[in-house]
Chains A and B, each alone.
Chain A
Amino acid sequence: MGYRSTFAGIAGATTLAVIAAVAHAQEAPAAGTIVDGSLKGKTLTFVSYGGIYQDGQVAALKEFVDKSGVTLLNDGPTEIAKLQAQVESGNVTWDVVDTADLPPYVHCGKLFQKLDLTKIDVSHIPAGQVGECSVPAMNYGMVLMYKNDAYKDNPPKSWKDFFDTEKFPGIRAIDGSGDPIGALIEQGIIADGGSVENMTPADIDKGIAKIKALGPDTIFWKTGAESQQLAESGEADMVMMWTGRAMTAVKNGAAYTPVWQDWMVVMDQLTIPVGVKDTDAAYALINAYLGKQAQEILTEQTSYSPIHNEAQPKVDASVAAFLTNTPDRVKQGYQQNIKFWVANFDAASEKWTALMAGN
């Protein structure tokens, strides 16, 4: 092959690639786009965690339902074990499922479909949050709240202080609601003088040992409501809390202050299970959900942070104080090493469970 023809070949290939890229760009409708009457007569089942959260999600999807003509059914709460039973029996009735942050990574391709990004517009989602099998459903944080009168002039400023029981005595309360909290184990490793750059499974033990060293009085709360109750009654001196619960506790009069340095980024995920009957309809729902307006409604109704970077929800000051998508908060946030925790999920869970069971 001569020089000329090679060049022509490359040029041809490039042209094709450009055409393909343009075609793709055209294919992916902008987030929030809804085609009128496109899903008339179809039914979608949306599964989430209930309460005001799911109510807010349904409100955010109202325009999608009205315009597309789809019948939206709601179910919940999300349980991966239930989904697994559906996928295994070949009878999947959940079309779009809101999950916690790790499951879509752990079960990607097995329980959750790999997402076709030409069907949804992910360009407005915060960096690094789109997974192979998931897009975020909203953002929130796990923040360290300390009791004002426990540490008057010298309050804790970081997770390092949280782990320092000599300088900062007092009862700690930790998220013991289920899965291991990778970010806290990582902070334990850092407080222990280690590094999380190249974590190995052996480091998990170090982080867990650091949590255990907080002492026998440490509280492991089981539900968000319990964490809120711990703050409102003043039971614990430092409480690791979900931002939504922290906000409500403060609103209800808990005299606690958040430490924003290295607040832990947490998100819910939207997924499409393997084996759903109408994948395209599920994509249409997700794409509508990712829209700017839908995200504003979601935040206004639930106080969770939007995952559309241009969303400007109208919220009062107490809610705004705990939103995690402002430029300052984005800078202070700490993102756990998702890859590591997915790869070591079983080992971490086993060790975390042993910690929870007092061993």
Chain B
Amino acid sequence: MNQTIDTTTAGGSDPRPAGRAASEPRRWRLADYPSLLTVPAILLLIAAMAYPLLTIVLRSFSEPEWSLQNYVWFFSTPVNLTVLARTFSISAWVTIVCVIAAYPYAYLMTTVGPRMRLVLIMCVLVPFWVSGVVRTLAWVILLQDSGVINSTLKAIGFSSIRLIRTQTGVVIGMAQVLLPFMILPLYSVMRGIDLRLVQAARSLGARPALAFLQVYLPLSLPGVFAGAIIVFILSLGFYITPALLGGPRSTMLSTLVQSQVLSLLNWGRGGTMGVVLLVSTFVLLAVAAPLMRQRHKQASRS
């Protein structure tokens, strides 16, 4: 490692055997080894990601002693399984809400003029720059029983609805926080779709709905999948929003991990929960992957 860095930065010296160098004196250039450019990123990933992850996995087996005790505990404690299932179902709901909310928005971004597009992009990005905690607290004020939504409902004669400390409230709050992660990939894909294809479909007699479903939608699916995966995976690890907007029946796995590690100092069990979440995410993605790939092909063919 040291040698490569030395030679690339020094540039002048040639450490290779004389036999090859004899044909033509050659300088080492960074451009010949483009993969070297990834070294800083790889080092960072090893130090900040691979090593800690390995430690977590090892400790989930080794604490308090080497065995499967933590995994046995995880799968034999009902609350863990309930919360795991709930974590996936909340994440799925958040993803669905994000797709439904983001799709028309991203589409609108591709059809309006540049100035309006800038406004739309700012509407997505400005909340994105505000801390998640602040946004979540804003949702508390909106959703609570005496909050803006419920007092408006009461003022116009409806009965109030329970939003905060329910799963609905958590899904609303998380979807808002995660919406940019859905809109941006969708927009970048939709921007590349040639709208003349839709026009062509229409000129050949397709109704607007059919032209959309058979031409535009398949072409935009890669963006939907990319956004959905990002939103789904980020949702799985959410902590602050479910903690502030949720009640006991919307506790997610991260909260359980937190209590195992921070208040019980049970790193083994906390690690186990992390590993179970990670592995089940991988399994889910592996199941979903072929499905997506096929659709991608279909989209590119049409």
Contacts and interface: CB of A to CB of B under 8 A. Distances in A.
A353 B256 contact: yes
A81 B261 CA distance: 7
Interface stretch (B96-104, B229-237, B245-253): B245-253
Given A84-B265, A357-B83, A358-B249, A222 B259 contact: no
Interface stretch (B26-34, B138-146, B192-200): B138-146
A161 interface: no
Nearest to B80: A357
A358 B251 contact: yes
Contact of A353 (B79, B144, B250): B79
Contacts of A126: none
Determine the main DSSP class of B at the interface with A.
helix
Interface string B250-288: 110001100101111101000000000000000000000
B184 interface: no
Contacts of B79: 353-354, 357, 359
A178 interface: yes
A207 B78 CA distance: 20
Interface in A20-38: none
Nearest to B266: A346
Contacts of B247: 219-220, 358
Contacts, number: 63
A279 B251 CA distance: 42
Interface residues of B, number: 27
A357 B82 contact: yes
A355 interface: yes
B83 to A, nearest CB: 5
Contacts of B249: 216, 358
B244 interface: yes
A355 B83 CA distance: 12
A179 interface: yes
Interface stretch (A42-50, A227-235, A240-248, A336-344): A227-235
A349 interface: yes
A320 B247 CA distance: 34
A79 interface: yes
A350 B140 CA distance: 28
B243 interface: yes
Nearest to B165: A219
B248 A349 contact: no
Interface string B142-174: 001111000000000000000001000000000
Most buried by A among B79, B244, B255: B79
A312 to B, nearest CB: 36
A82 to B, nearest CB: 9
Given A84-B265, A229-B140, A358-B251, A349 B259 contact: yes
B248 A179 contact: no
Nearest to A233: B146
A209 interface: no
A84 B63 CA distance: 14
B249 to A, nearest CB: 4
A1 B123 CA distance: 97
B263 A220 contact: no
A76 B133 CA distance: 19
B248 A357 contact: yes
Contact of B82 (A179, A355, A356, A359): A359
- For A81, A178, A179, the residue with the greatest tally of chain B CB atoms inside 10 Å of its CB is A81
B259 A353 contact: yes
Contacts of A107: 265
B102 to A, nearest CB: 29
A233 B264 CA distance: 33
Nearest to A359: B79
A235 B145 contact: yes
Contacts of B262: 79-81, 178
A226 interface: yes
Nearest to A176: B248
Q: 10 tightest A-B contacts by CB?
A: A358-B248, A358-B249, A359-B79, A357-B251, A354-B79, A233-B146, A353-B259, A222-B243, A179-B263, A178-B263
19 contacts: A79-B262, A80-B262, A80-B265, A81-B261, A219-B165, A219-B247, A226-B140, A226-B244, A233-B144, A235-B144, A235-B146, A345-B264, A349-B263, A349-B264, A356-B248, A356-B251, A357-B256, A358-B82, A358-B251
Given A357-B79, A357-B255, A359-B78, 18 more contacts: A80-B262, A80-B263, A81-B262, A81-B267, A178-B262, A178-B263, A219-B247, A233-B146, A234-B146, A235-B144, A235-B145, A349-B259, A349-B264, A353-B256, A356-B259, A357-B82, A358-B247, A358-B248
